Amino acid sequence: MFDPVIAPSGTLLGLLQRGRGDGTLHALTAPRAEALAALNHCVLRDPRHDWQVENRSLYYARLYLDLNGDLDAVEAHLFDTEDVLDTEESRTGLALAVLGHLASYGRRDALDLLRRYAATGSNWAWALDELALRDDDAGLRALAAPVLARFPADPEGEAELVTVVRDAFEPRPWRLWAEDSREAIATRVRAAQEAGCFDRWQRQMRPTGPRPGWSVRAVFEWAQQGLERGAALHVPAARCLTAVAGPEDRPEIVEAAKDGDEGARCTALRYLADSNDPEALQLIERAVATGSAPVVEAAVDAFERMRSVAAVDRARGWARRPDPLGAAAGRMLACRGGAQDSDLVLGALREAVMGEGPDAPTLWTLVDGAGRLGIACAAPVLRHVYRETASSHLRGRAARALAATDPSYAAGFAVECLWDCEETTREIAARHAETGDARVVEQLRRLAADPAEEAEVQTAVRSRIGPDAPAV
C-alpha cells in the first residue's frame, strides 16, 4: 500500500482527506468547483493509511449527494488504461465503495458504473460485492457471462474459479448463478461451489503446525523456523507451550528466555509473561537490554499483556525510561493505572506527540488512557491530536477522550463530529453535542432518517431527539 500524502489540516483538501466533519461543512460553503475537485482528489487517491480499517466511503458519498456532484472523474479513473497495469485493490477500492453507497441512495449513474466495471474492470470482485448488496436479481444475472468468461475452461482456469467462488466475500451472485436458467452457467458455478467445499474440507483434515505430543524443544524449533522464513510465530507457539509444558519444563523455558535463539526467546518471554511467572519481569528487562529487535519487540508486547499488580507497579518505575520499555510502561499505566498515575500518562502522551508526531502508534493507548483517567490538563494535547492526525480512528479516540476531559467539547468539536467519517465518532457526538446550534438539530434528524447510518449512531440520536428525550 502506498503512503498517502496528506495536505495540511487547515486546508479543505486536508480536512476531507482526514474525514473530518469540518471537511463537509467547509466544502458546502466553498465554491462548488473547488469542493468537487478536492472530493475527487480524495476518492481517486485513497488518503487512508490503513484502508482496511478506516472509513471514508459513506462520508464521501454523502458529500457527492450534498454537492450534486457528477461521477465523470470517477468513471475516467476506473476505466483508465492504468486499471490494467495496476490491479491493486487500493487503486479503485475506495471509488467502488463510494459508488456502492451512492447506488444505495438511488444514484442510477453509480449503479451503472458498478455494473460496467464488474464486467470489464480489474478489481471486478470488489464491484461485484458492492452490487451483491444493492443490485436486483436481473442486474446480477446479466453479469454471469462476462464474469465467468474471465476464467478459461481449462484446469487452471477452473481451479482459479473454484478459489474465487470459495473465498467470495458476498456469496449472493454465485448462489444466484448456480440456479441460472442457462445450463452452461449454472453447471459451471455449481461445480466450482462443490469443489470449493471439498477443498475446504481437505485443508481442515490436513492442519499444519504443532501436533499433540510435541515437546517444548519442538515448539521452540517451530517458532525459530517461522522466524527464519519471515513469519513471526512466537504468539501461537506460546499458546502451544501452554498445552505441552509442565512444571518440570520451566527451567528450560526460563533459559530460553535468557539466551535462546530469537524464536525460542520470543516464545518463552510471551509464555512466561502470560503465565505471570515470578521471573517474567526481570527477563523482560534483560531482553530489552540485550536482545535483537524482534526479541525487544516481543518482550515489550509480552509486558503490555501482563495484568498483575506487580507489573503495574513495575511500570511506574519504568515509565520514565527513554526506551521501548519506558513507552510500554506508559501505555500499561494508561490501560491499568489509577488516578495516581495521571502525571506519568500525561508525560508519556506529551512526549509521544512531541517526539513522534500526531500519528504515532503509541498514541492510541495513551489517548484512551487520558480519557479513562479523566486527565483534564491533557485536553490541549488531545485537541492537537484531534486536529492533526491523519488517522480517523485515532481522531475518534481523541474525541472520546475529549468528551471525558474537556468541558468545551460539547459546544466545540462535538458539533463537527456529527459529520465525521467514522460512525463511532458520530455516535459520541450524537450523545454530547449541544443542541443550541440549529445545524446540530438538523444533522441529528438527518442521521436518524438515513437508512445508511449505523444502528449505534441512530440509537444515540434517538436518545437526544426521540419521544422520551429532552426537548431540543
Looking at 204-268, which runs of residues are DSSP E strands? none
All three cell numbers of 316: 511506574
| Phi (first) and psi of residue 64, to 5 degrees | -60, -40
**pLDDT recorded at residue 470:** 57
All three cell numbers of 90: 487500493
Average the pLDDT over each of 50-59, 196-205, 271-280, 417-426 and give the range with the smallest value. 196-205
The per-residue pLDDT for range 419-430, each reduced to its tens digit, is: 999 999 999 999
Task: Name residue, grid cell 519506558.
Answer: 326
Residues 56 and 392 sit within 8 Å (Cβ to Cβ) = yes
Residues 68 and 105 sit within 8 Å (Cβ to Cβ) = no
Give the contacts of 90 (CB within 8 A, at least 6 positions apart): 1, 2, 46, 51
**pLDDT recorded at residue 68:** 97
Among candidates 423, 442, 367, 375, which has minimal Cα distance to 400? 367
Among candidates 408, 410, 418, which has minimal Cα distance to 460? 418
* pTM score: 0.91
Average pLDDT, integer, range 245-261: 94
The per-residue pLDDT for range 24-33, each reduced to its tens digit, is: 999 999 999 9
**pLDDT recorded at residue 190:** 93
What is the identity of the amino acid at 81?
T
Q: How confident is the model at residue 203 (pLDDT cuts 50, 70, 90)?
A: low
Q: Is the pLDDT of residue 271 over 90?
A: yes
Rounded to whole angstroms, how far apart are CA atoms 147 and 119? 6
**pLDDT recorded at residue 405:** 97
Rounded to whole angstroms, how far apart are CA atoms 390 and 408? 23
3-state secondary structure of 389: coil
Q: Is the pLDDT of residue 1 over 50?
A: no
**Residue of 404 and 229 predicted with greater confidence:** 404
The per-residue pLDDT for range 52-104, each reduced to its tens digit, is: 899 999 999 999 999 999 999 999 999 999 999 988 888 999 999 999 999 99
Q: Is the pLDDT of residue 466 over 50?
A: yes
Average pLDDT, integer, range 138-162: 94
**Residue of 299 and 472 predicted with greater confidence:** 299
What is the percent of the chain with per-residue pLDDT over 70, rounded to a whole number? 94
Rounded to whole angstroms, how far apart are CA atoms 418 and 425? 8
**pLDDT recorded at residue 204:** 45
Rounded to whole angstroms, how far apart are CA atoms 417 and 425? 6
Q: How confident is the model at residue 205 (pLDDT cuts 50, 70, 90)?
A: very low
Average pLDDT, integer, range 207-225: 77
Rounded to whole angstroms, how far apart are CA atoms 419 and 19? 9
User: For the chain, what is the radius of gyration of the CA atoms?
Assistant: 26
